[in-house]
Amino acid sequence: MVLGTAASGAPDSLSLRLFALLTGFAILHMEATRPAEERRRAAHLGGEHIDHTGVWTCAGAFVLPVPLVVALVLIIRLRRYFIARKPPGRYLFTTSAITSSALAAQAIATATPVHAWIRGAPVPPDRVISAGLAVLAAFAAYYAAQTVVIGLARGLRGDWQWISILGERKENADLLITLCLGLIAAWAAGVAYGLLLFALAGVVIGYTRHTQRIEQLEQERDRLEVDALHDPLTGLANQRGFNPAAVLALVADQARRRPTAVMMFDLDRFKQVNSRLGHLGANEVLKALAGVLRASVRRDDLVCRWGGEEFTVLLPSTSRVDAWAIAERIRDAVENMTVELTRAAGGRTEVEAGFTISGGIALSPEHGTDLAALQEHADQALSEAKNGGRNQIRITPSMPLPGPRASREPTFERP
C-alpha cells in the first residue's frame, strides 16, 4: 500500500506517528550519550563539531511535512541547550542553520518522489537511479544550506579561508555518515511500526560514544603534549613527555582502524660535527634540526628528542606512502639546512652547511601495535640506513621505497 502525506492542512496520522517515533528516539539518543557529550562540550568551549542528533533531523526532513520538521528540530535543540555551553545568541544562530538545512533537504525530498518512496511507496525499477540522485541532491541541499549560514558567520569573524567555510575533511566525513544514518532512520521509522529504530538507535548511540571516546583520547593526548616535560635545548618533548602522548595517539588510530607511522632519525657524523664546531656549535645544529622537524610535520604529529642527536617522530593516521614522503621531505630539508654560528673569538659569524640525516620508519599495525616495538623496528631500519651509506631513509622491513638518493658518503659504521 502506498503511504502518503497531506499536502496541506493538519499533518496526517502517519506523519504524526513518524514524528513521535523520531522525537522519542532522538531523546533516547541524547540521554544515552549525555554525560560524554557534556564533557566534550566543556573541553571545547567555543569550538564547533558535528552533533549526531542530525541523524534524527535528517530523517525528519525525508518523511515529515514542514511544520513537524521544524517542531522536531526545536525539540532537539531545546533539550540540547541545557548542555550546549554556548551564549543564547550563538545557539539560536546554530539552530537556524540546522533548521535551514533540514528544510532545504525536505524541499528536495517533497519535490521529488523520494518523500513518498521512503514512506513506503514502491520504487519502479527504472527509477532507482533517479531515486539515488534525488537522495544525493537532498544531502547536498542539507550540506549547502548549513555551509552557507555557518561559513558566512565564520567569514564575518574574519576567517574567509576555504577550509573554514567548507569545513575540514574529518568534519565533512562525520556529517556524511550522520546523513546516511538519517536516511536509514527515515526508512526504518516506516517499517514494522518503527521497531527497526531500536536497532538503529543502538548503532547511532554506539557511533556517538565511539566518536566521543576518540575525541577524549585526542584531548588527553593534546593535554599531555602541552604539559609534559620538554627538552630544554630544542624545546621538543623528551621521552617522558613523548611516550604517553604517543601511546594515546596509537590507541586512537587503532580505534579508528587507521595506520600510524613511527620514525627514528639520527644526525649523520655528529661526533665529527661536535669536534669541528665545538659543543656550543653542535648545540646550535641540534636546535636548527629541531626547527626543521617542526616545520616538516603536521600540527597533530609528535616530535621528540630521543637522546643526543637522535630524534623520533610519530605520525597519526599516516599511510606507508605518506610517511615515506614526509621522511624524505625532512631528509631533504636537513641536507639544505644552514646554521649561523658566532665565534667566541672576535664575534665572527659563520654559516655552516653540509649536514645530513638518516631515518628509519615502522608502521602500525603492519609492524606491530606497541610503541616500543615500533620504535625498535624503526631503529633497526635506521641502522640499515646508516650502514647503507647514510643520508637516506629505510622502511621496515629492510626495503627502501623507490626514489631515495644514495649517500655520497659511503661508509659502514654507525657513530
Per-residue pLDDT for the chain (415 aa), expressed as one digit of tens each? 333 343 445 788 889 999 999 999 999 999 999 887 877 776 655 556 788 999 999 999 999 999 999 999 999 999 988 877 677 888 888 899 899 999 999 999 998 888 888 877 777 777 778 888 989 999 999 988 887 777 777 777 666 677 666 767 888 888 899 999 999 999 998 777 788 899 999 999 999 888 888 888 887 777 776 666 788 889 899 998 899 999 999 999 999 999 999 999 999 999 999 998 888 889 999 999 999 999 999 989 999 999 899 999 999 999 999 999 999 999 999 999 999 887 655 456 788 999 999 999 999 999 999 999 999 999 999 999 999 999 999 998 744 444 544 433 333 333 4
Query: How much is the pLDDT for 302?
Result: 96
- Edge-first strand listing for the sheet containing 260-267: 302-307, 310-315, 260-267, 357-364, 393-395
- Kind of pairing between the strands at 349-352 and 339-342: antiparallel
C-alpha torsion sign, points 297, 298, 299, 302: negative
Query: How much is the pLDDT for 171?
Result: 82
> CB-based contacts of 5: which residues, under 8 Å, 6+ apart?
11, 12, 14, 15, 65, 115, 119
Query: How much is the pLDDT for 365?
Result: 92
Query: How much is the pLDDT for 7?
Result: 42
Local structure of 101: helix, strand or coil: helix
> CB-based contacts of 29: which residues, under 8 Å, 6+ apart?
52, 53, 55, 56, 201, 204, 205, 208
Distance (Å, whole) CA 57 – CA 183: 10
Specify whether the CB–CB gap between 264 and 359 falls below 8 A.
yes
| Chain centroid offset of residue 164 CA | 15
Which helix H or strand E contains 314, and what residues bound it?
strand 310-315
Query: How much is the pLDDT for 48?
Result: 62
Query: How much is the pLDDT for 228?
Result: 60
Distance (Å, whole) CA 191 – CA 194: 5
Which structural domains are found in the chain, ordered by start?
A: 13-219 (1.10.1760), 230-395 (3.30.70.270)
- Amino acid identity of residue 216, one-letter, is Q
CA nearest to 153, candidates 90, 84, 103: 90
CA angle 273–275–280, rounded 5-degree value: 75
CA nearest to 57, candidates 169, 183, 172, 163: 183
Distance (Å, whole) CA 203 – CA 205: 6
Query: How much is the pLDDT for 255?
Result: 93
Environment class of 387 (CB within 10 Å of its CB; exposed 0-12, middle 13-18, buried 19+) = middle
Query: How much is the pLDDT for 396?
Result: 86
pTM of the model: 0.57
Query: How much is the pLDDT for 159?
Result: 65
Query: How much is the pLDDT for 254?
Result: 94
Local structure of 261: helix, strand or coil: strand
Query: How much is the pLDDT for 343?
Result: 64
